[in-house]
Amino acid sequence: MKLSLPFYDKVQNKLPFKIGVMPAIGAPVLVLSALAMVVLPVPAFLLDMFFSFNIALSLVVLLVTIYTRRPLDFAAFPTVLLIATLLRLALNVASTRVVLLHGHEGPGAAGQVIDAFGSVVIGGNYAVGLVVFLILMIINFMVVTKGAGRISEVSARFTLDALPGKQMAIDADLNAGLINQDQARTRRQEVTKEADFYGSMDGASKFVKGDAIAGILILAINIVGGLSIGMIQHDVSFSEAIEIYTLLTIGDGLVAQIPSLLLSIGAAMMVTRQNTDEDMGQQLVFQLVDNPKALIISTGILFVMGVVPGMPHVPFLALALICGSFAYWKVKTQEKIKAAELAKPKQEIVAPKPKDLSWDDVQPVDVIGLEVGYRLIPMVDRDQGGELLDRVKGVRKKLSQDFGFLIPPVHIRDNLELPPNSYRITLMGVAVGEADIRPDNELAINPGQVFGPIDGEPTIDPAFGLEAVWIEKSQREHAQALGYTVVDSATVLATHLSQMLTNNAERLLGHEEAQNLVELLARQAPRLVEGLIPDLVSLGVVVKVMQNLLNEAIPIRDVRTIIQTLSEYAPKSQDPDILTAAVRISLKRLIVQEINGIAPELPVITLVPELEQILHKTMQASGGESTGIEPGLAERLQQSLSEATQQQELQGEPAVLLTSGVLRSTLARFVKNTIPTLRVLSYQEVPDEKQIRIVRAVGN
């Protein structure tokens, strides 16, 4: 971050280097300095500076891990751990050289820091220092490092196993309109960073473990080497040599192992904390004193231990007093909260005066309605943390962008007649979807291939009819590791709502929405709209044409082309079906792109000429209704088209039936409910630049 202060600018201009460059060269300089200490002799004064810097660095890293809210906020921790370990090992080599070369000169020959830790910290007694050092090594190696390494290994494995499931959950939220492209990109980056971080921490924990083992070996080597050099080369007596070199070696080991212990504690804190945006200190304090019952029981036990004869009375009674004070404060705080809630003035319910009925008492039917059971009310209440309203808003926004018109608002209300965990989706007052959800659980959906079963309540995904299981929230990562797509209850409901609105898009478009689309176009192309309604065509015909398009999953975003085609063909015919066919031909590029993207080749299913002739004659006899097809022929035709559609879906290609313009609308109505994934196109609706590849001819 670059400061914009006048003083900073003046200093920056006078310096021969840029201040912003210092963090970039700090790490290389530190690593090269550590390597230089391994090769070159270091004076005792510089050793003191480096040892002090090493202790300061370890303290800073430990405090940063304590106050970091999320592990990813300190993603550079594995690298910092590696550099700090390398620096500490280099200092061990440099201090060993100084101790062995100049140890016979006295305790101060290796620097004041080593002398202070060898004389002051352990009282100058090498036996005590050896015991303290070994205890520190056991704590660091057997307790902190071993536990942190195990947690890092497990976290890395489960994070990597859950990565595909998390990616699928992000894709599901994006497809449901709950998030946009930027939010999905950000969440994918966070998931990738999380996997990289825990993978790096798994490797970094091995550095700490290796450092602890190296400390024990260096201690033994230094003592043996110091005794040998002092007694053989410098003619120092055994008692004097063991005292001097042992004190220096233990002081050197303590100077190195205390920072090592601090970094090990920091690594353990980093891998054991949850990935939530909360301060660790606040978590510990609030969660420890949140339950007054635990404090009251602890107070009683400490008091009993304090009054038992022979026990130290002052410590236990003092702690009992502290715990009792916390318990009293917590109880009083809860009582004040309850009293404040009871003291709120209650609104007096005044019976309204009876009045005559009016048209205001007749409630209009909601275009889109969502009724929920009483246990689902918290999901729609923002005060209780409900996020369903935001999810519904996201669904409306995405569908409005896809269809090309504003989706009407969703009116949500509670319905006591529904089961507690049920909801119902209505269109124009008619129920189109209903399901049960578990607001306290999550839904693990089987996308088609999973690596094993999971414990829970089997069910069916209400949106797409896939096999699913209601699981506990604690099973989320395990289910994702097995290949399940795990979503919460709000996402299940929002996805079901999105699917129902998509399947009934034509029922959402009325005269008001069509008039708004025409008025928006009039602002951009006034000449095109001028004189169209009602001179050439009525608004009702325009609405019917747009509904016909939406009924076959064709968006009406290109309002200009639709109105232009109606202006051209309306003088010739007012039949909505004929006008719809003309509009479809004008929108042929959009239609084919929605089906097959920008691929140059379009795989299609066709009817044999003999079958087309039979259907032509049948339509002429029945007046163009698909119900006029002979039952036996209709059954065989439906079976053949179903088999062809399944074959196309297994090959990963769209299922498209290509037929004549006369049969297109009839066959589209015929397959809409039985084979919804089969799209029916006429020959005129295929763009000239598209190559047609016939994959099957039905009727042979």
**How would residue 556 be classed by pLDDT, with cut points 50, 70 and 90?**
very high
Query: Do the Cβ atoms of 666 and 624 come closer than 8 Å?
Result: yes
* Alpha helical stretches, state H, 349-450: 388-403
- pLDDT tens per residue, range 327-374: 787 778 777 777 777 776 655 555 556 666 777 667 778 889 999 988
| Rounded (10°) CA dihedral 26, 29, 33, 34 | 60
The rounded distance, in Å, linking the Cα atoms of 93 and 49 is 15
**How would residue 292 be classed by pLDDT, with cut points 50, 70 and 90?**
confident
Q: 460: which strand partners?
A: 467
pLDDT at 5 over 50: no
pLDDT at 623 over 60: no
CA atoms within 13 A on the CB side of 158: 12
Strand order of the β-sheet with 457-460 is 457-460, 467-471, 442-445, 485-488
Q: How far, in Å, are 235, 374, 413, 500, 574 from residue 417 at the CA level?
A: 99, 9, 12, 22, 46
Q: How far, in Å, are 28, 29, 37, 477 from residue 24 at the CA level?
A: 8, 10, 22, 37
Q: 602: which strand partners?
A: 692
Q: Buried b vs exposed e over 594-619: b needs ≥16 C-beta within 10 Å? A: ebbeeeeebbbbbbeeebbebbeebb
pLDDT at 275 over 60: no
**How would residue 397 be classed by pLDDT, with cut points 50, 70 and 90?**
very high
pLDDT at 279 over 70: no
The model carries a pTM of 0.51
The rounded distance, in Å, linking the Cα atoms of 36 and 20 is 25
The rounded distance, in Å, linking the Cα atoms of 686 and 138 is 77
pLDDT at 3 over 50: no
390 vs 290, residue with greater confidence: 390
Query: Do the Cβ atoms of 250 and 130 come closer than 8 Å?
Result: yes
pLDDT at 19: 43
If one counts every other C-beta atom within 10 angstroms of the C-beta of residue 509, the result is: 24
The rounded distance, in Å, linking the Cα atoms of 28 and 344 is 64
Among candidate residues 199, 189, 193, 126, the one with its CA nearest the CA of residue 158: 199
pLDDT at 21 over 70: no
- pLDDT tens per residue, range 22-34: 455 656 776 777 6
Instruction: Average the pLDDT over 425-440 and give the result.
Output: 90
**Strand pairing of 601-607 and 656-659?**
parallel
36 vs 439, residue with greater confidence: 439
Q: Buried b vs exposed e over 15-38: b needs ≥16 C-beta within 10 Å? A: eeeeeeeeeeeeeeebeeebeebe
